[in-house]
Structure 1
Amino acid sequence: MEKDFEGRIALVTGASRGIGYQVAKQLGARGAHVIALARTVGGLEDLDDDIKAAGGQTTLVPVDLTDFDALDRLGAAIFERWKKLDILVGNAGMLGVLSPLGHIGPKDFEKVMAVNVTANWRLIRSLDPLLRQSDAGRALFLTSVQAQTCTAFWGLQATSKAAVEAMARTWANESRQTSMKINLMDPGPTRTGLRAKAMPGEIPENLATPAVVANDLLELLRPDVLETGRLFDRVSREWVQR
C-alpha cells in the first residue's frame, strides 16, 4: 500500500467503529501516526492491532467527547510530543432521538449538541495552534444532508449538523491566510450502526461500506487539496455549496 501519509500526525474521533475506524485504519496503513479517540476501549484495541499489522503506529485515547477538560488537555499533550498536528477528522457524532422538536427532552437535546457541536468546537480551540504548525494542516468534519433538508422528526440531526457546517466554514474563513484547509464531507447512506438505528428497514448490502467511504475521505486530507470551507458530497462526487 502506498505510504502517502508517511510522517503525518492524524487525529480521528469516533475511531472505534464505523467510518472513523476505517479512516484511522487506512491512515495508519498509509503511513500516518494515528491518534485515535473513542469511548470504547475494545474497539480501540482492535484498531491498534489492525494498524500495527499493517506496519503503522497509533496512540489510543479512550475518552468521552463530553469530557471537555480532557479535550482541552489533548492539545497540550500533542504539542509536548510532536509540536504539531497535520490532520483532524471530526467523525464522531450522535443521531439522538427521531421525534417532533417539541417532544425532545432537554437532556437528549443537550447530549447531542454536546457531542456533535460543542466537542468539535473544543477540539478546534485545542488543536488550531497545532494545525497551524503543520506545513499542510487539514481538517475534515462529517455532516449530513439533514442540515439542508430539515426533514420532519430529524431536528436534532439537522440542527447539530447545520451548526457543524457553519462552524467549519467560519474556521476556514478565519484561516485563509494560512496553509490550513478545512472542509466538510457528506458521506451519504453508509452501512453503520447509526444508520441501521435510524433506518431499520434498509437493506445493508445496498449501502456503501465504511471502508469505501473512508478511502474517498482520505483523498480530502492530502496536502495537495486546495479547497477550503467547502462541502464534498460523496454520492455526487462533487464539491457543493449549501
Structure 2
Amino acid sequence: MAGRLEGKTALVTGASRGIGYQIAKQMAAEGAHVIALARTVGGLEELDDEIKSAGGSATLVPLDLTDMGGIDRLGGAIKQRWGKLDVLVANAGLLGVLSPIGHIEAKVFEKTMTVNVTSTWRLIRSVDPLLKAADAGRAIVMSSGAAHSAKAYWSLYAATKAACEAMVRSWANETMNTPLRVNAVNPGATRTRMRAEAMPGEDPKNLPTAREVAAKILPLAFDDVTETGKIFDVREGRFLSYRDPA
C-alpha cells in the first residue's frame, strides 16, 4: 500500500536528532524522499541507515544553518534534481541561553537569532518557488509556547519563535490563493536534548517522546490539509487561530 507521501520530496532541517530525526523517519515511511539537513554528520548517517533499512530513501545535507550561501545553493540544487519541493519542515533551532535579558551576551544573541530566525527566512526564500511548483506544497515551521508566554529569562528564545510565527502568518497570507499551505507548530514539552538543557531538574519520563510528537505533526504534510497561517498545538491536537489585532 502506498504511503500518504508517496512520490513526494520533503526537506527536514535539524534532522540528526530529536523531533526532526523522527519526522524525517516517518515521512520516509510514508513514501517521501527525505532531504535531511543538519550539522551532525553522524546523526544524519544513522538516520539514513534507518530509513534505508525500512525501504525508504534519503539525501543527506550536512550544513550549518549559519552558512547562508549554503542555504541559497540548496534551493538551486533541489530545483536542478527534482524541479520542486513538496514539503518543508523548518525544525532546526537553538535554545540560546536562559538569562535576564540584560545579561545576554551579544554573540549569543546574534547566533541564536541567526540560526532560529535569519536562516529560517533564508530557507523560506530559497525554497518558496519550489513549494509553489508542487501540486500541494506544505510548509511546517517549528515554534514554541515560549513565543506567547514570555516567561522571565526566556526572552531570547521567545523572541526568535515569535519572529518565526510572524513570518509564517505573513507568508501564509501571501500564498493564500495558491495550493501552498503554511503553518507553525507548537510541539509542547518533549523528551529532547534541548528540553533537558532548558529544564535539567525535570523527569524526562513524564514527557512524550520525540517519536510520539512527530507522529502528531506528520499529518500537516498531507494533501488534505486546508488550514494555513495557523499554529498547530500538539498537546491539544488541533489548529489554533491567531487573534487579529483590533
Structure 1 length normalisation: TM-score? 0.98
SS in 2 for 1:183: strand
SS of residue in 2 equivalent to 1:6? coil
1:241 is displaced (CA, Å) by: 2.9
Could you tell me which residue of structure 2 aligns to residue 153 of structure 1? 153
Secondary structure of 1:58's match?
strand
Match for residue 186 of structure 2? 186
Which residue does the alignment assign to 2:208? 208
Match of 1:119 in 2: 119
Please tell me the residue identity of whatever aligns with 2:117.
Answer: V
- Aligned equivalent of 1:76: 76
Whole-Å Cα distance in 2 between the matches of residues 212 and 25 of structure 1?
Answer: 12
Aligned to 2:238: 238
Structure 2 SS opposite 1:11: strand
Partner of 2:202, secondary structure, is coil
| 2:57 corresponds to | 57
Q: How big is the shift at 1:236?
A: 1.3
**Map 1:31-70 → 2, pairs under 5 A:** 31-70=31-70
Where 1:50 maps in the other structure, the secondary structure is helix
Flag structure 1 segments of 5+ consecutive residues without an equivalent: none
Cα deviation per residue 1:103-149 (whole Å; 9 max; x = unaligned)? Answer: 00110000000000000100110000000000000000111111111
Please report how far the alpha carbon of residue 238 of structure 1 lies from its aligned counterpart in structure 2 after TM superposition. 2.1
Tell me the equivalent position of 2:170. 170
Cα deviation for residue 2 of structure 1 reads 5.8
What residue in structure 1 maps to residue 221 of structure 2? 221
Q: What's the counterpart of residue 132 of structure 1?
A: 132
What does residue 103 of structure 2 align with? 103
SS of alignment partner, residue 84 of structure 2: coil
| Equivalent position amino acid for 1:131 in 2 | L
Matches of 1:241 and 1:196 in 2, distance apart? 30
- Counterpart Cα distance in 1 of 2:3 and 2:175: 28
Structure 1 residues 2 and 234: CA distance shift in structure 2, 3 A: farther
Q: Deviations over 1:53-100 (max 9, x none)?
A: 111110000000010000000111000000000000010010011001
CA RMSD of superposed structures (Å): 0.9
The aligned residue for residue 11 of structure 2 is 11
Is 2:116–2:160's contact at 8 Å kept on the other side of the alignment?
yes
Cα distance in structure 2, aligned partners of 1:129 and 1:232: 24
> Aligned letter for 1:37?
L
Matches within 5 A, 1:85-100: 85-100=85-100
Q: Sequence identity, in percent? A: 60
- 2:216/2:237 contact within 8 Å kept: no
Q: Structure 2 length normalisation: TM-score?
A: 0.97
- 1:239 and 1:75 map into 2 onto residues whose CA distance is 29
Moved over 6 A (4+): none
**Matches of 1:63 and 1:138, distance apart in 2:** 22
- Distance in 2 separating the partners of 1:213 and 1:237: 10
